[in-house]
Chain A
């Protein structure tokens, strides 16, 4: 069965420090890959997506993610975190046969001054 794993439930970083959020997926082929952010009281916002091509994708708010087929991973990175980045981050996988869509359990990011 398809699955999305975000091994870090909670991460705390200092403002200005770099960030990497991990995501691993289990699927037979290369699915569509996404990162979403959810702030308190806000809806889910798409940060970036990967369908094919260049394995390093750029998103909004200075985020980027790298697809590594050999590791079935799609980790999210940001070189310098801002206090406003504190939120819940979800990795997601879209599977075209059957139009299924799977979210990970999320990583909660806290940013300290």
Chain B
């Protein structure tokens, strides 16, 4: 069975640009969560979606947004990129509405110049 997949694997953008990151959950999983992991730190929770509705939101500015599609895949959008947005962006999927057991994808490495 395929695990959580994310695309692209790597991305380079410049300040002020917009970026869209994509995630496909494990088949049968209905919840997707997004995390930002800055080098040398633990992941920070950004969003959780379940059945296409936002169920949780971390302490991130409105430049960050996300959505979940009917097939349960998800997109994370970041507008007006800042240098500080450079990080590994992780997606995790779980079956139910709570993040009781999450399975993580390999991440998208974003570099903002």
B25 part of interface (Cβ distance < 8 Å): no
Interface segment among A62-70, A77-85, A92-100: the answer is: A92-100
Q: Which 9 A-B pairs have the closest CB atoms?
A: A99-B56, A103-B42, A44-B104, A43-B104, A101-B45, A99-B55, A43-B106, A103-B43, A99-B48
Q: Is the CB of A44 within 8 A of B48?
A: no
Closest CB of chain A to B109's CB: distance in Å? 11
Pick the contact of B100: A32, A45, A90, A104 (CB < 8 A): A32
> Please, how many residues of chain A have a CB less than 8 angstroms from a CB on the other chain?
23
B90 part of interface (Cβ distance < 8 Å): yes
List residues of chain B with CB under 8 Å of any chain A CB. Answer: 3-4, 33, 35, 41-45, 48, 55-56, 58, 90, 92, 97-107
List residues of chain A with CB under 8 Å of any chain B CB. Answer: 4, 32, 36, 42-46, 49, 51, 90, 92, 94, 96, 98-106
Q: Is the CB of B105 within 8 A of A43?
A: yes
Closest CB of chain A to B43's CB: distance in Å? 5
A-B pair count, CB < 8 Å, reads 59
How far is B98's CA from A51's CA once the two chains are assembled, in angstroms?
A: 12
Name 29 A/B residue pairs within 8 A (Cβ), A-sorted: A4-B42, A32-B98, A43-B3, A43-B104, A43-B105, A44-B43, A45-B104, A46-B101, A46-B102, A46-B103, A90-B42, A90-B43, A94-B98, A98-B56, A99-B48, A99-B55, A99-B56, A99-B97, A99-B98, A100-B58, A101-B33, A101-B35, A101-B45, A101-B48, A101-B102, A102-B45, A103-B42, A103-B43, A105-B42
How far is B99's CA from A99's CA once the two chains are assembled, in angstroms?
A: 7
How far is B48's CA from A46's CA once the two chains are assembled, in angstroms?
A: 18
How far is B3's CA from A42's CA once the two chains are assembled, in angstroms?
A: 13
